[in-house]
């Protein structure tokens, strides 16, 4: 599996229905599974010649270093999940003979044209709480900013909790589980204090951890699945994926991403907070 998810800028526009569809899960294992499927499908779509159906194999989804947990998922459960998936991102998606066959929806294909931000899938591996998983994705998209309180009520699915202070406590708990993220909830100290623009918002900042070096390659990108033509003119001998070092793998993935970025182009990032 690829080591990052490319999220179109347009998906972080809260006026786009796909924004909330991305977070429309109440089960952490299924949320991560959907992210893995979307990451692979998006890479396939961006790097494969025009075709009626796009495909990729399920091989490696439960690999040793996968963001998916074998205790929560099996190959059978993954197949059932995909075959029952009803998502605004896909027009069609199904599994046949251990191969995923899909077509993106028109709305997601339009969103893909807006340029991309990358999220390191490794950052999701150790997150066990669904709300923290959602916050991890949001704070990776924009490393510093704020979230409106009522926006978090909706995106973190807190509608079943009646008391407002209990909802805030749930958000605080989810933020505390994030690594290298400082946060504070700003609000008036009492009713007599003037309400400021910064109030009723969770403000956050991601700290840079220069010493972090986590190996999170699930499995090597299969160029036969993606129909990619990677040029290795400087190499005396073209290495097969299983012969390549991790450094060579990351270099090839970066070259592929750069080639596709030049082909697709980018736009300014949309402010979603």
Question: Is 90 exceeded by the pLDDT of residue 25?
Answer: yes
Question: Is 90 exceeded by the pLDDT of residue 167?
Answer: yes
Averaged pLDDT, 153-163: 95
Does the residue 56 lie in any domain? yes
What pLDDT score does 211 carry?
41
Does the residue 270 lie in any domain? no
Averaged pLDDT, 197-207: 95
Pairing of strands 201-206, 181-186: antiparallel
Q: What is the mean pLDDT of the chain?
A: 79
What is the reported pTM? 0.75
Q: How confident is the model at residue 234 (pLDDT cuts 50, 70, 90)?
A: very low
**Cα–Cα–Cα angle for 250, 226, 119, nearest 5°?**
45
Does the residue 272 lie in any domain? no
Residue numbers of the domain that contains 89: 4-264
Q: How is residue 33 written in tokens?
A: 């599974």
Does the residue 273 lie in any domain? no
Helix (H/G/I), strand (E/B), else coil: 90: strand
Does the residue 105 lie in any domain? yes
Torsions phi, psi of 185, nearest 5?
A: -100, 120
Contact 117, 103 (CB under 8 A): no
Q: How is residue 262 written in tokens?
A: 């030049």
Indicate the DSSP class of residue 56. E
Does the residue 271 lie in any domain? no
Count of domains forming the chain? 1
**Cα–Cα–Cα angle for 13, 17, 19, nearest 5°?**
50
Of these ranges, 4-18, 142-156, 247-261, the one predicted with the greatest mean pLDDT is 142-156
Residue with token string 């993606």: 226
Question: Is 70 exceeded by the pLDDT of residue 227?
Answer: no
CA distance 41 to 36: 9
Closest CA to 56 of 68, 43, 67, 65: 43
CA distance 152 to 149: 5
Does the residue 89 lie in any domain? yes
Does the residue 103 lie in any domain? yes
């Amino acid at each position: 599996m690829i080591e990052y998810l490319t999220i179109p800028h347009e998906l972080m526009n809260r006026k786009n229905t796909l924004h909330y569809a991305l977070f429309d899960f109440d089960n952490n294992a299924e949320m991560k599974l959907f992210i893995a499927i979307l990451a692979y499908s998006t890479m396939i779509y961006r790097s494969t010649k025009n075709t009626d159906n796009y495909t990729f194999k399920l091989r490696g989804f439960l690999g040793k270093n996968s963001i998916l947990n074998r205790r929560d998922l099996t190959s059978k459960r993954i197949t059932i999940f995909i075959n029952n998936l009803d998502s605004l991102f896909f027009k069609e998606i199904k599994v046949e003979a251990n191969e995923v066959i899909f077509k993106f929806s028109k709305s997601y294909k339009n969103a893909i044209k807006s340029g991309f931000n990358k999220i390191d899938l490794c950052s999701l591996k150790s997150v066990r709480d669904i709300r923290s998983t959602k916050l991890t994705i949001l704070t990776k998209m924009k490393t510093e900013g704020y979230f409106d309180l009522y926006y978090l009520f909706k995106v973190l699915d807190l509608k079943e909790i009646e008391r407002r202070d209990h909802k805030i406590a749930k958000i605080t708990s989810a933020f505390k589980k994030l690594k290298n993220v400082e946060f504070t909830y700003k609000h008036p100290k009492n009713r007599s204090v003037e309400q400021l623009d910064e109030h009723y918002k969770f403000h956050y900042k991601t700290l840079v951890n220069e010493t972090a070096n986590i190996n999170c390659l699930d499995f090597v990108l299969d160029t036969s699945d993606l129909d990619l033509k990677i040029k290795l003119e400087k190499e005396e001998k073209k290495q097969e994926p299983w012969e390549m070092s991790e450094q060579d793998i990351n270099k090839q993935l970066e070259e592929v991403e750069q080639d596709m970025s030049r082909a697709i182009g980018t736009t300014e990032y949309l402010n979603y907070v």
